[in-house]
Amino acid sequence: MKYYSLHQNAPAVSFKEAVIRGLAPDKGLYFPEDISPLPKEFIDNLADYSREEIAYRAIAQFVGNEIPKDELQKIIKETLAFDFPVVPVTNAIASLELFHGPTMAFKDVGARFMARCLGYFNRDNEDEVTVLVATSGDTGGAVAHGFLGVKGVKVVILYPSGKVSDIQEKQLTTLGQNIQALEVDGFFDDCQDMVKQAFLDTAIKPTLTSANSINIARWLPQMFYFFFAYKELYQQHEDIVFSVPSGNYGNICAGIMAQKLGLPIKHFVAAANSNNTVTEYLKHGTYSPKPSIATISNAMDVGNPSNFIRIEKLFDNNFERLKQQFSSYSYSDDATREAMKVLFNQHQYLSDPHGAVGYLGAVDHLQKYPEDYCVFLETAHPVKFLDTVEHTVATKVAIPPQIAAVLPKEKSAIPISNYRELKQFLNKE
C-alpha cells in the first residue's frame, strides 16, 4: 500500500514512511492510493467474528506487508484491551462508550495502535524519533500514555494554557520519562499551526512525526469501534446512523472510511459546538475557516479541521454526494448543558459535554428521519470534565482508578508563546 499527499505535490510513500513522517513535505495529509471494500459475506456475518478478527480485516490492507501478520495481530490485541459498549439511551438512540481505556477517552485506540506500530518500526533503530503533537484536550493524555516508555521515541505535547480541563492537564503533564508537555499561550489552532510549521522547517534537528489524527496510524484504527457497534446492532436495526462529536474530524472520517470498506452505515452526523466551520460549509457551500472559540466541549474547539479534506476525498470531492450521507449541526454551550440535564434526569445517563453534543445531533437527525436508529459517540468519561458535569447535573461523579492515580501528581510543563520558542526547545533537546 502506498500513500500520497492530498496536496499532490510530494512523492508517494509506504505505510512506514507515512507513519514516521506524519505530514507530507508539501503540507498535505497522506491518503491511501487504493481502498478495497471488504467481502460482503464478511460484512453480513460480522456477528461470527471476534473484535480482533474484525479489526485485523479492517486495517490489514492499509498496513500491507510492512508489519508481519502475527505482529500486527499482537498490536491489535494490545490496542483493544478494553470494552466498547453500546448503551441504549432511548428507543431510537444509543451511546457508544469509548472511554473505557487507560486515559478514559476515545483517542486511546489510535494512540495505542500508533505507538505500537512506531515501536515496531523503531525496534532496531538507534536514532530517536520525536512525536510532536498538539492537543485540545484528550489527545495529549492518550498519546502520553500510549507512548510512555516506548524505545527510541520522545513525545512533545503542545496544549493551550487554561483551555484544557484540570484532569486532562494532569494526564499529559505528570508522566515524565520520555514525555514533555509545552504549555502554549494561545488556542489549539495556534498549537496545531506550530506543529505543522515545525514539520516543514528543515532547520529542525530531530526527526519529527505527529500523533494527531493527521497521522494515518492514529486516524485509521478509529474505524474499529464503528465496526464493533455495527456488529452489536445490525441484526436488530436496519438503518443505523452515527452522530459523532467533531472537532478535527478524524473520528468521523474514520467512520466514513469504515463505510467505504463496505460497512452499510446509512448516514453520519457531524455534531459540532460553536466552532461550526463545517456546519456553515454544508449550508452555504463556502468553506471558511475561522479562529477557534473556547467552549465547554473543548476537545472540539477547532476552527480549521485538518481531516475534512480527507472526508471530501472519500466522497470524491463531490459536494452533493457528501450532503447525501453527511450532515452537520452545531450547538451552543447552553444547549449542551440542557442536553446533559435531559440525559441525566430523563434517561439516567451521565454524559460529558462532547457526548451531549453528539446526543443533540442524534435528536436533530431523528426529527427528520424518525425511522433511523442513532448512535452517538460518548468520547470521554464525564470525570474528565468534572467541574462542568457536576455543576450542570448537580451530582457527584465517582473518580475512576485511572484518574485517581494522576490527581496527586505534580504538573511539569514548559511555557512557550511562539514558534521561535518551540524551535529552540526542539533543537536543544
State the cell numbers at 195: 506543529
From 371, 372, 361, 155, select the one nearest 251 (Cα to Cα): 361
With a CB cutoff of 8 Å and minimum separation 6, the contacts of 44 are none
Q: In angstroms, rounded to a whole number, what is the distance separating the alpha carbons of residues 128 and 131? A: 10
Q: Where are the alpha helices (DSSP H) in 45-137?
A: 51-63, 69-79, 107-121
Q: In angstroms, rounded to a whole number, what is the distance separating the alpha carbons of residues 379 and 372? A: 22
3-state secondary structure of 99: coil
Pairing mode, if any, of strands 93-97 and 179-184? unpaired
Residues labelled catalytic: 107
Q: In angstroms, rounded to a whole number, what is the distance separating the alpha carbons of residues 77 and 90? A: 32
State the cell numbers at 89: 439511551
From 58, 76, 179, select the one nearest 120 (Cα to Cα): 76
Q: What is the 3-state secondary structure (H, E, C) of 194-229?
A: HHHHHHCCCCCCCEEECCCCCCHHHHHHHHHHHHHH
Spatial strand order in the sheet of 413-416: 207-209, 129-134, 153-160, 179-184, 413-416
Other CB atoms within 10 Å distance of the CB of residue 68: 11
